[in-house]
A and B are shown apart, each in its own frame.
Chain A
Amino acid sequence: GAVVSQHPSWVICKSGTSVKIECRSLDFQATTMFWYRQFPKQSLMLMATSNEGSKATYEQGVEKDKFLINHASLTLSTLTVTSAHPEDSSFYICSGSPGPNTGELFFGEGSRLTVL
């Protein structure tokens, strides 16, 4: 299947700092990418839909000013957690699709954020 790579795999930061997570589609172009987060022992929750060259669409309850998403190219989307707090500690996962008529999504390895 198609490959999606995330970086970093894990990050620890101090409260109040910002953290950027990168999501790259390595062998396909992704017009649309999705960002999820997952708290311990819970399922994945969709945060936002990222479309190349346009503003992201956020799910209800997700603060767009706190979770900045940029999708400047067909192979790169970034999620920046601004002014991180301990409650933002979570597993963040991105996904993308290789084609407009392909329902499959391919997921990155995930990035574990711990805010102290």
Chain B
Amino acid sequence: DAKTTQPPSMDCAEGRAANLPCNHSTISGNEYVYWYRQIHSQGPQYIIHGLKNNETNEMASLIITEDRKSSTLILPHATLRDTAVYYCIVKESNSGYALNFGKGTSLLVTP
């Protein structure tokens, strides 16, 4: 069972920031927050991950609350190609453990 809760769908206008929330109130101290996305009929793509500090890379920013019970993925300037299902997953940083996907958020970026 997924340990995260995400809204099922969101819309965003092209060029605007997309802010995707995720609740993970039962996260444990050694679990990271990972974000992946899946464009239709493709394999999931890694976006970003973090433990407790905010993180930024070329794709997105990850804001984690101080109590670590929730986080927000920010796509600063959404494009049509960002339309995808976004998955927030909590996991220990260990390659021996698989990712357990919940239902994710279906983001639709509109012109």
Contact = CB atoms under 8 A, between A and B. Distances in A.
A106 B43 CA distance: 9
A40 to B, nearest CB: 10
B93 interface: yes
A101 B45 CA distance: 19
Contacts of A49: 98
Given A31-B95, A97-B95, A104 B41 contact: no
Nearest to B38: A44
A1 B46 contact: yes
B41 A91 contact: yes
Given A46-B98, A46-B100, A49-B98, A102 B43 contact: no
B41 A103 contact: no
Interface residues of B, number: 25
B96 A44 contact: no
A100 B101 contact: no
A108 B93 contact: no
Contact of B44 (A45, A46, A100, A107): A107
Nearest to A48: B98
A101 B94 contact: yes
A22 B85 CA distance: 25
Contacts of A107: 43-45
B14 interface: no
A103 B49 contact: yes
B97 to A, nearest CB: 8
A67 interface: no
A105 interface: yes
Contact of A103 (B94, B101, B104): B94
A43 interface: yes
A108 B43 contact: yes
A95 interface: yes
Given A34-B98, A101-B95, 13 more contacts: A32-B96, A44-B101, A95-B99, A97-B95, A100-B95, A101-B93, A101-B94, A102-B93, A102-B95, A103-B34, A103-B97, A104-B49, A110-B41
